[in-house]
Amino acid sequence: MELSNELKNKIINVTSNAAIACHPYVGKNDKILADKAATDEMRKNLNKLDIDGKVVIGEGELDEAPMLYIGENLGSGNGPSLDIAVDPLEGTNFVAKNLPGALSVMAISLRGNLFNAPETYMNKLSVGKDVPYDATDLDFTIEKNLMNIADAKNKDLSDITVCLLDRPRHKEIIDKLKSLKVNLKLLSDGDVTGALLVTDKKYDVDIFLGIGGGPEGVLAASALDSFNCKFQGRFLFKTDKDISRAKKMGIKDLNKKYDLKEIVRGDSIFCATGITSSELVKGIKLENGKYITETLVTHKNSTINIVKKEVPIT
């Protein structure tokens, strides 16, 4: 069974409406209210669909409502059984401070096809389809990965661009990259966006790497699968609570390195609607009494495109 275009269009509506619900909070310096608005709207619209949905990638646990929590059932209970990954507001600080890059993000697959990931950190790597699969690996040194990419693309090392989050935990990596004299693209937030910048030459990013959110890694992997890009991730379990949660989810090897095909199996749909503009999609505009939204949509078995919607202001 494949995911239908009709379902794809419904998911576009879900992320578009969540983005619109969040829009009034842009620049209001209240990321909690912004996140709640997007989450409530996403939950409401998912529950209207004739699906038997279950959240496998969410924002927390059952006792942390109103977040869409791991294990939450969504939809009427009728229709296809789906795994759902959600990040109603990717980039809460971007909305609060009216900065570029805020998205409302969601991915779906048939039940059992999306990795059930705990909300913990993940060490990640993504590269474009123009790099041979075996040229990069999480277990290679940074220098080896970059040299292999440079060789594959017939570039000088100084022409390679590396994207990663600008975090204290990445100081050693950033220092190493500076010593190699490669180009850096440092992000203040936006884990999903960063991983997707390897999908097109126009973004001029050769590799995304570093430690970020595990759930965001799974969401990005869904889109990267449609682009035939490479993704690897290794979860980082630092506390007893993290380890206990992972074991309850069936993760036996806590040090396992996951390839994309282990994270996303079969058909999947990914939607990311812009709230504030980014390199991937434009943010929400208000024109002639309507919200104009832009959504990056990938459906592994049919399409990759940008969908614009007009929604009347009510």
Q: Residue 66 has what pLDDT? A: 58
Which domains are present in the chain? 5-112+267-312 (3.30.540.10), 121-263 (3.40.190.90)
**Mind listing the pLDDT tens digit for each residue in 234-288?**
999 888 888 888 888 888 898 999 999 999 999 999 999 999 999 999 999 999 9
**Mind listing the pLDDT tens digit for each residue in 125-152?**
999 999 999 999 999 999 999 999 999 9
pLDDT above 80: residue 69: yes
Helix axes 31-46, 5-22, angle to 10 degrees: 150
Give the DSSP letter of residue 277.
-
Q: Give whole-number Cα distances, 134 to 140, 145, 182, in Å.
A: 11, 10, 21
Give the DSSP letter of residue 238.
-
The tokens of 53 are what? 């949905």
Between strands 207-213 and 258-259, the pairing is unpaired
**Mind listing the pLDDT tens digit for each residue in 153-192?**
999 999 999 999 999 999 999 999 999 999 999 999 889 9
Bond from prior residue into 66 cis (ω within 30 degrees of 0): yes
Give the DSSP letter of residue 253.
-
Q: What is the percentage of the chain residues whose pLDDT exceeds 90? A: 83
Q: Residue 62 has what pLDDT? A: 46
Provide the phi-psi class of 29: left if phi over 0, else alpha when psi is between -120 and 50, else beta.
left
Give the global pTM.
0.95
User: CA-CA distance, 110 to 220, in Å (whole number)?
Assistant: 17
User: CA-CA distance, 220 to 199, in Å (whole number)?
Assistant: 11
Q: Among 276, 305, 279, which residue's Cα sits nearest to residue 293? A: 276
**Mind listing the pLDDT tens digit for each residue in 200-223?**
999 999 999 999 998 899 999 999
Tally the residues of the chain: 314
**Mind listing the pLDDT tens digit for each residue in 80-110?**
999 999 999 999 999 999 999 999 999 999 9
Q: Is the dihedral of CA 164, 91, 71, 80 positive or negative?
A: negative
Q: What is the percentage of the chain residues whose pLDDT exceeds 70? A: 97
User: CA-CA distance, 126 to 265, in Å (whole number)?
Assistant: 17
pLDDT above 50: residue 121: yes
Q: Among 223, 187, 189, 188, which residue's Cα sits nearest to residue 205? A: 187
Q: Which residue is associated with the tokens 């578009």? A: 16
Q: How confident is the model at residue 58 (pLDDT cuts 50, 70, 90)?
A: confident
pLDDT above 70: residue 47: yes
What integer is the mean pLDDT of 303-312? 94
**What is the rounded end-to-end Cα distance, in angstroms, of the chain?**
38
Q: What is the CA radius of gyration of the chain?
A: 19
Q: Residue 60 has what pLDDT? A: 63
User: CA-CA distance, 281 to 295, in Å (whole number)?
Assistant: 7
